[in-house]
Chain A
Amino acid sequence: MSTTTKDKPQAQEPVPRAITSVGDRVFAGLTLGASLLILAALASVFIFLFAKGLPGFNRAAEVYGPRADSFLGYVAPLLGGTVIAAIIALIIAVPLAWGIALVISHYAPKFIAVPVAYLVDLLAAVPSVVFGLWGVIVLAPKMVPAFDFLNSYFAWIPIFDGDVSNSGRTIITAGVVLAIMILPIITAITREVFSRTPRLNQEAALALGATRWEMMRLTVFPYGRSGMVSAAMLGLGRALGETMAVAMVLSLGGWSGNLLGPGNSSIAANIASKYKERSEDLLSVLIASGLVLFLLTFLVNFAARWIVGRAERKMAGA
């Protein structure tokens, strides 16, 4: 009798633990490994681009082509084109996206809001190369009259002065295509924050006699401000890195100072159009320019996510 009572506590403790720990340890290790692998992948993107791109920062002057003689001179006009195209896209897309988000979250009845939301998501599903095709063949010719108008009445603004592209393949056209492409992501995030506005705040505003627009300004916008900003920044990140639409719409050449002319290409488009010249020198320069683009988009996305995270923490604390 006494021996069994002594045995019991000893047997109970280790047996179940021994069975579970092997499977558990393996499975936990697998999941941890997958997480670490993701971090390693991100780090190796930096490392490999750096390893292959480093020589590209300091090549002989003739590698940088006819227009420039150093890496800075080569990449700066392309960076200019990248940023200007992205800014044009943002100027067009952000107000539209906010409008659509309001329609979906507040203005439209459900039987309209659901299909509209679905259609905007559909826009995100269209491959970028198809957008590029549409931009070159359908949109670009239709933009020519607008460019002629801008050139004949606003030529006193330096960016509209100069030769007008008669094919319509300019940085403004590229910006419009980019705007359509970044519209879904900006809309999706903005819509999400708008619809999370506390109902009581909105009803209080309405009860005090605010019109619907005043209710938006008093409750919805202040509540969703950080979400609206970070959505725009995520859109900016997309627009900066988008390749094919810009590569197909624009001809080669960096920022020329004339929005209505050819050229004004971006870093990404430049890589896509030049990679075929498989000379080791030029490739390293292209990879180096890709590193510049990566750092730029990384910073923009980092800032955008940080703003979102801060807002979420603030709301969780409140």
Chain B
Amino acid sequence: MSADLTKTPTETPDESSEETATGTSRGAIPITAAQLPRLAPLLVAVVGAAVAAFFWLILDWPPVGSLIVGGIVYLLALPAWSLAVEGRRRATDRMMTGLVWTSAVIAMVPLVSLIYTVISKGAGVVNSEFLTYSLFATQLDQPPGIYHAIMGTLIITLGAAIISIPIGVLAAIYLVEYGKRNRLARMVTFLVDVMTGIPSIVAGLFAFALFTLLFGAGFQGGIGGSVALSLLMIPIVVRATEEMLRLVPDDLREAAYALGTPKWRTITKVVLPTTIGGIITGVTLSIARVIGETAPLLLIAGLAAKTNTNPFDGAMTTLPVQIYSFNSRQETIDLAWGAALVLIVIVLALNLVARLIGKFYAPKTGN
């Protein structure tokens, strides 16, 4: 009887019986189950690729359509094979693995397409004249340029940074060092989180309502754009700074207190220098985030062809608004791509700088 039971595993196909023979036998339940060969996903992928190639080359489908067909073949064939050999649970596992990876690949498609399009269509437009002339023609054959929009973007974003950074950093210091989770601090934290979700157009409408109430109906100016952007930027600065300040170990603060240092000097001379790299990273990322905003500036900063460097007087164009304006007319769409390339390069450069700063000045957390 017992000899019969120990033999049951040998009925399962070849490779599993070998393993049970080497391992200790423990009665009727087989320790191993049939498995697909390790290279099974690769094999099925080859089949899928072959199907895609068949559709593309023989049936003349568009390449994207054939790729989708090949992908579906892969996603169905592997679980089907697994279902036949390994059973339902492993088949489900294989199918979900396939789907999860597919979602990651799908998400990369628009990013690659977008960056490819911007570079291929924009590279031909961008040259030194495009960057140094404004749209305001002073000569008959002046080439179109976006100098005015670049200047406007820099000035308005600088204004927003001047408003947001002190408020954001000080509020974060209050939350971490003074508030200590009292009622006000909890409320500010919560509302700052909610503020990160304010639609940018609402920030624009707010600045519009504020400045037209104060300065009359027709007001347009860069400062309005700065105020609108800072409404979007402050929550990001607060969150980033708060997270960094919480990383500073309490040992440092206590050491400073033990030497008799007052609290405010401990914060400015010990806590802030320790974490300054992280704060600069957060601030740079927040600038990168608002520099591409369009909707609020469309409402309050306006559109002008001439270079304007005074944020308190007259319309001031920014790059995103200029892109929107280029896009609205058929003959300037090429210029829109050029401006988009410049804008993306600025944003990516800011991101890169932020990450480098974050890497080099990472706060040392305790021991």
Contacts and interface: CB of A to CB of B under 8 A. Distances in A.
- Could you say which interface size class chain A belongs to? 35 or more
A1 interface: no
Interface in B101-141: 101-104, 106-108, 110-111, 113-114, 117-118
Interface residues of B, number: 91
A38 B192 contact: yes
Interface string B323-355: 110010000010011001001100110010000
Interface stretch (A4-12, A154-162, A267-275): A267-275
Contacts of A27: 263-264, 267-268
A16 B200 contact: no
B356 to A, nearest CB: 13
A183 interface: yes
B333 A137 contact: yes
A127 B320 contact: yes
B170 A31 contact: yes
B173 interface: yes
A23 B92 contact: no
B18 interface: no
A289 to B, nearest CB: 9
Contact of A35 (B111, B179, B327): B179
B234 interface: yes
Interface in A254-295: 268, 271-272, 275, 278, 280, 286-287, 290, 293-294
Interface stretch (A70-78, A100-108, A166-174): A100-108
Given A126-B347, A180-B110, A278-B217, A34 B170 contact: yes
Nearest to A241: B199
18 contacts: A27-B264, A27-B267, A45-B198, A49-B205, A52-B212, A99-B103, A126-B344, A127-B294, A128-B320, A129-B324, A134-B118, A211-B89, A211-B90, A240-B199, A241-B198, A241-B201, A243-B201, A297-B202
Interface of A: 16, 19-20, 23-24, 26-28, 30-35, 37-39, 41-42, 44-45, 48-49, 51-53, 95-96, 98-100, 102-103, 107-108, 116, 119-120, 122-123, 125-134, 136-139, 180, 183, 211-214, 216, 234, 237-238, 240-244, 247-248, 268, 271-272, 275, 278, 280, 286-287, 290, 293-294, 297-298, 300-302, 304-305, 309
Given A49-B206, A133-B336, A214-B93, 16 more contacts: A20-B263, A33-B170, A34-B170, A35-B184, A45-B203, A49-B209, A99-B100, A103-B104, A125-B289, A125-B351, A128-B200, A134-B110, A138-B113, A138-B117, A212-B97, A272-B201
